[in-house]
Chains A and B, each alone.
Chain A
Amino acid sequence: MRFQEPASIVSAARAEFERAQSDTDGWSDDLRQRFDAQRFKPLMDAATKLALALKKAQEQCNAADRLMAK
């Protein structure tokens, strides 16, 4: 499947970053509040947009492949 490698990397990056953000053992309540998920939303949004762009490119390339295979 096309774009599987970059899509997997983006997915793994998102998951890893989310884990890093949520791994708040030993944090003070104050710190937990200050570094909540909203703080890094723009970074996560960039990955979401990248994943969507890859999906769209995959669909377009699949359509092109189907035409070429006829």
Chain B
Amino acid sequence: MSDVVKAEVRAVRTLKKAVTRYTEQLSTAAHAARREMADAETKAGELVEHRRRQMNRAVQELLQAKDAMARATDEKREDCRRAMVAAEERAGQLKQELERARRAGQITATASSDLLKALQTAEAAVSEQSSAASSILASLDSKLSDITGGGIGAFVRNTVTSIGIAAEITIATMDISKAAGNFSQGRLPTADHINSIAELRDMQDQEQQQLWRDAESERQEHDASTPTENTI
């Protein structure tokens, strides 16, 4: 029985550490995801600004080309017309590039909004569940350590408590399942646990009665071996 409880202590501590580490890892992942998303947004925003500046320059060049065309002499008119057409093409091309950059920026902004929502939801769920799980596991770890820390005598005295803890594990873990809407899959404290507690209480009563009988027997033997005033 002692080995079983020691195994329980190890298992609970292992799970407690695992929950803590799992929470830290997901937090690190969320942090990395936010950083990467922010980088993507910055990149998209910078590209939109770059394209806008290019577009503005192209529009200025087009206006200058149109102005030159208006003031051109006949011999320069054809050159100015070609320059104006080239500037129009360039401005049109940059307008399309600016539009694409804007669409990319919008997609990135949507991705960021969706991801941040998902991260918040996941973090809230992990925080809630892990703190509940860690708290339950820490409490169980402490109780189980108390039992094993007290040696076998204390273990026997605390056996009923151990079964109580087992029931507590059931209730506590059931709460975790309930929170996730998996209540139907949670294990309720069943009659066999209650029977076990009752049986252990019977065992404990019987043990105490036996100890009392042993003590009484020893006392009687002691009395019988001790000379009384009358015998003297």
Contact = CB atoms under 8 A, between A and B. Distances in A.
Interface of A: 2-3, 5-7, 9-10, 12-13, 16-17, 20-21, 23-24, 26-28, 30-31, 33-35, 38-43, 45-47, 49-50, 52-54, 56-57, 60-61, 63-65, 67-68, 70
Contacts of B7: 26-28, 31
Interface of B: 4, 7-8, 10-11, 14-15, 17-19, 21-22, 25-26, 28-30, 32-33, 36-37, 40, 43-44, 47, 97, 100-101, 103-105, 107-108, 110-112, 114-115, 118-119, 121-122, 125-126, 129-130, 133, 166, 169-170, 173, 176-177, 179-180, 182, 185-187
B40 to A, nearest CB: 5
Given A5-B36, A67-B103, A50 B44 contact: no
Contact of A9 (B19, B29, B107): B29
B166 A34 contact: yes
Q: Chain A CB within 10 Å — which of B40, B107, B173 has the most? A: B107
B182 A67 contact: no
Contacts of A54: 29, 33, 115
A66 to B, nearest CB: 8
A39 B176 contact: yes
Contact of B32 (A9, A28, A35, A61): A9
A33 B169 CA distance: 11
A17 B100 contact: no
A65 B7 CA distance: 53
A23 B181 CA distance: 26
A3 B118 CA distance: 14
A42 B186 CA distance: 12
A20 B185 CA distance: 21
A23 B14 CA distance: 9
